[in-house]
Structure 1
Amino acid sequence: MSESKWIVKNATLDDAERWFSLTAIVQPDFCNIDLINDDNYRSAMIKNMKRGTAIYVEDYIRTDTPIIGAMTYSQNQNHISWLAVHPDYRKRGVASSLMKHMLGELANAKEIRVKTFLYDDEYGKAARNFYKKQGFVGKDILMEEEGYPHPVQVFVKLLE
């Protein structure tokens, strides 16, 4: 499937099991934090599904239609909360499709923010490269962040 053909959908509670299946697959990309059993993560994802700020792309060619990329964001704070793509579908336009959809939802925003691993952390290398290609610029470094076992960096994209 070409990268321009991905269809972004709003996640509902009916998608939760597939969403958490993707979460388990990408766990190594998030410092191996056990997000599946993290009550804060689970409740945040459910809350986003209920309010329409959880989006995903699925592989509808496969009979089991797995979610291959997912994102949550805040329309009030113009912030990407979580973004992940299944390892088998990376560098095929899935994350870009999610980003484009989300930016359309934030049409009146002046900037959008995302937190990711620090510039020298191997865990964040792919994420930082993606955000930079999308026009984000590294800004603040937060040495401690609630719930994270590592320092994070804020990336900001100014919207026109």
Structure 2
Amino acid sequence: MKVDYADNCDFQSWIDLLELVKESFPGLDLKEYKNVLHQSILNQEALIAKNDKGELVGELIFSRKNCELAFLAIHPRHRKKGIATNLIQHMFDLFPKGTNLKVITYREGDVKGIAARKLYQSIGFIEGKFITVFNYPCQELNYII
């Protein structure tokens, strides 16, 4: 598996993967998301993971300005293979030591968030404040690099 910055030629593959997992992201507005993705690619804030066949199997958007992991998705057939951890570790390397990064995910007890919370907590993210995003109860998790 190879992790690299996404570029414009990865755009459609990225959207194809998003279509497979979009139910996991309440409030997702595809038109707005595409604009964010274009900007993230331009800013080099979009990472992709490709398997040995060159297929896109994971995608991550982060914000340097907000010190945030903003989006993470792994192809359903390629989960539990370390792809998400690899993408996150690669993102960590792009921030200075001491940076406090956050990710917004589902609250404890929400069935939709069991796998995500387990992943983030296994990496070392700790629970932060409760928030609501797109009228859905969420929680910030934090990690200091």
Please give the TM-score of this superposition, normalised by the length of structure 2.
0.93
31, 38, 44: which one pairs with 2:36?
44
1:47-86 alignment runs, 5 A limit: 47-61=39-53, 65-86=54-75
Equivalent position of 1:113 in the other structure: 102
Equivalent position of 1:16 in the other structure: 11
Task: Give runs of ≥4 in structure 1 deviating > 4 Å.
Answer: none
Equivalent position of 2:142 in the other structure: 156
Unaligned runs of 5+ in 2: none
The count of aligned residue pairs is: 145
Unaligned runs of 5+ in 1: 1-5
Given the alignment of the two structures, is residue 7 of structure 1 paired with residue 2 of structure 2, yes or no?
Answer: yes
Q: Compare 8-17 and 37-46 and name the one that shifted more.
A: 37-46
Residues 88-112 of structure 1 show CA distances to partners (whole Å, capped at 9, x for unaligned) of: 1111010011011100001244211
1:151 alignment partner AA: P
2:44 alignment partner AA: G
Residues 7-30 of structure 1 show CA distances to partners (whole Å, capped at 9, x for unaligned) of: 101101111000000100112322
| Seq. identity, % | 24
| Aligned equivalents of 1:68, 1:28: Cα separation in 2 | 17
Please give the TM-score of this superposition, normalised by the length of structure 1.
0.84
Aligned residues of 1:78 and 1:109 also touching (Cα < 8 A): no
